[in-house]
């Protein structure tokens, strides 16, 4: 099982501008900047969007669109653990939707949301390159495959144990 996700920094405009300024010269700088901001802060705070837009001379709508289009970016801090479940074709054909329903009904976990205690975030991902192990997921960045309800329950039990 992986480590807890890194604690995000709170928003710091100076640090955000430093990161943006260091990458703005790149061709196609939007994605590298967003990745660097998320690495530093744990998510893309709404206050970062105008800073990115201004540095790249694009509209706020364009910058916001990039954040919402790519599933890699989150607009709120993640929980201490992150479960990313693959919902692309191969995993769909092997039953990932059933697993998502199981998470929703049995564990009250909905993709895109974090538990009230801040312990766990569930996110969708679209192909992890682990199709041979469908249905697959990432738990704190570590791939897990051939999931079924029982394995998911066990994984969540381990994460709960690690929360203490
Ligand atoms: S479709 Fe899920 S890992 Fe490729």
Q: Which pLDDT band, with edges at 50, 70 and 90, does 8 fall under?
A: low
Distance, in Å, from the CA atom of 161 to the CA atom of 154, rounded to the nearest integer, reads 10
pLDDT in tens, 32-49: 999 999 999 989 999 999
**Predicted confidence (pLDDT) at residue 94 exceeds the cutoff of 60:** yes
Distance, in Å, from the CA atom of 19 to the CA atom of 106, rounded to the nearest integer, reads 41
The ligand 1 atom at the shortest distance from the C-alpha of residue 127 is 4
pLDDT in tens, 113-143: 998 888 999 999 999 999 999 999 999 999 9
Residue reference for tokens 């837009």: 53
143 CB under 6 A from ligand 1? no
For residue 36, report the distance from its CA to the centre of ligand 1, in Å.
Answer: 25
Query: Domain residue spans in the chain?
Result: 13-69, 81-163
Distance, in Å, from the CA atom of 44 to the CA atom of 46, rounded to the nearest integer, reads 6
CB 76 within 8 A of CB 43: yes
Residue 121: strand pairing partners:
82, 114
User: Architecture of domain 81-163 in CATH?
Assistant: 3-Layer(aba) Sandwich (3.40)
Tokens, residue 140: 């704190």
């Amino acid at each position: 099982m992986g480590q807890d996700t890194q604690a995000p920094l709170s928003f710091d405009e100076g640090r955000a501008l430093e990161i943006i300024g260091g990458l703005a010269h790149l061709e196609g700088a939007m994605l590298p900047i967003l990745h660097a901001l998320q690495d530093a802060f744990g998510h893309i705070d709404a206050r970062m969007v105008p800073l990115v837009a201004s540095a790249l001379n694009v509209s706020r709508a364009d910058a916001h669109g990039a954040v919402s289009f790519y599933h890699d970016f989150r607009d709120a801090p993640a929980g201490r653990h992150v479960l990313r479940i693959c919902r692309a074709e191969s995993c769909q054909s092997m039953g990932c939707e059933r697993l998502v329903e199981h998470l929703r009904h049995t564990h009250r976990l909905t993709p895109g949301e974090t538990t009230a205690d801040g312990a766990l975030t569930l996110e969708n991902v679209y192909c992890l390159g682990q199709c041979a192990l469908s249905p697959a997921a990432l738990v704190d960045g570590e791939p897990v495959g051939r999931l079924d309800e029982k394995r998911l329950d066990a994984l969540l039990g381990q994460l709960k144990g690690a929360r203490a």
